[in-house]
Amino acid sequence: MSNRPAAEMSLREYLDRLAAKEPVPGGGSASALVGAVSAALGSMVANFTVGREKFAAVEENMRQVLEALEVERRALTNLVQADMDAYGQVSAAYKMPKDDPTREETLQTALKAAASVPLEIVQRCLAVLRLLPELVEKGNPNLLSDVGVAAVCAEAGLKGGWLNVEINLAHLADEQYVASVKEALEACLGEAEALTRKLWQVTVDRGV
């Protein structure tokens, strides 16, 4: 299998690596990819709205939404590789000799870094979800179903990121850090689920 960075892989190559018997890419990286797909779908809807005379009244608003979605798409795309890199750091720390006096500190640092990547995935996916209601209300209605797909993809990416944060937190000794991250995660998860339900229902109701 190639060890090329995710940004240099074709979709087929990335999926082949994801399916292979090797630890990376894994669920965190895949969650970032799903989040990036969500942002891309949102951008598509915005792109089919801006520059069209019939949507002139919402032109500036849609351009702002598009710009924000592109920021999230780029960030989530970068996180596809960042999660792979973070796993490598944790793996290297675990392989250190157990009698090495720096092993535990190195491991704890690596685990915090590994938790921070999926935590950002969670936050970025929520940022995407927060932008989608504007597309439902003001975007090109012919692409309403794409907004619905974007919503469920963003929620899936967020929940996948949340799970990967929890996995790393389970091995961290810093109880205060763990508690603060868990509190932030719960708030993100609750908001994401409520937003997704609302977006999905509006999409279905208007689409039938």
Residue type, 23: P
Instruction: Give me the pLDDT at residue 160, please.
Output: 98
Query: Is residue 5 assigned to a domain?
Result: no
H, E, C per residue of the chain:
CCCCCHHHCCHHHHHHHHHCCCCCCCHHHHHHHHHHHHHHHHHHHHHCCCCCHHHHHHHHHHHHHHHHHHHHHHHHHHHHHHHHHHHHHHHHHHCCCCCCCCHHHHHHHHHHHHHHHHHHHHHHHHHHHHHHHHHHHHCCHHHHHHHHHHHHHHHHHHHHHHHHHHHHHCCCCCHHHHHHHHHHHHHHHHHHHHHHHHHHHHHHHHHC
Q: Which domain holds residue 148?
A: 24-207
Mean pLDDT along residues 92-107: 93
Query: Is residue 19 assigned to a domain?
Result: no
Say if residue 7's pLDDT is above 90.
no
Query: Is residue 187 assigned to a domain?
Result: yes
Say if residue 117's pLDDT is above 60.
yes
The token pair at 52 is: 């069209």
Mean pLDDT along residues 21-28: 94
Give the CA distances from residue 201 to residues 133, 152, 188, 190, in Å, rounded to whole numbers and listed in that order: 12, 11, 20, 17
Give 151 or 204, the one with higher predicted confidence: 151
- Domain count of the chain? 1
Residue 205: band (very low, low, confident or very high) from pLDDT cuts 50, 70, 90: confident
**What are 146-195's pLDDT values in tens digits?**
999 999 999 999 999 999 999 999 999 999 999 999 999 999 999 999 99
Instruction: Give me the pLDDT at residue 4, please.
Output: 83
Query: Is residue 167 assigned to a domain?
Result: yes
CB-CB neighbours of 153 under 10 Å: 24
**Residue 158 maps to which CATH number?**
1.20.120.680
Instruction: Give me the pLDDT at residue 38, please.
Output: 98
With a CB cutoff of 8 Å and minimum separation 6, the contacts of 107 are 90, 93, 94, 96, 171
Instruction: Give me the pLDDT at residue 130, please.
Output: 98
Residue 119: band (very low, low, confident or very high) from pLDDT cuts 50, 70, 90: very high
CA 59, CA 206: separation in Å to the nearest integer? 22
Say if residue 208's pLDDT is above 90.
no
Query: Is residue 107 assigned to a domain?
Result: yes
Query: Is residue 13 assigned to a domain?
Result: no
Query: Is residue 190 assigned to a domain?
Result: yes
Query: Is residue 11 assigned to a domain?
Result: no
Instruction: Give me the pLDDT at residue 2, please.
Output: 57
The token pair at 172 is: 């961290």
Burial class, 5, CB count within 10 angstroms (exposed 0-12 / middle 13-18 / buried 19+) = exposed
Q: Hey, CA dihedral for 205, 188, 74, 133, is it positive or negative?
A: positive
Mean pLDDT along residues 109-131: 96
Say if residue 62's pLDDT is above 90.
yes
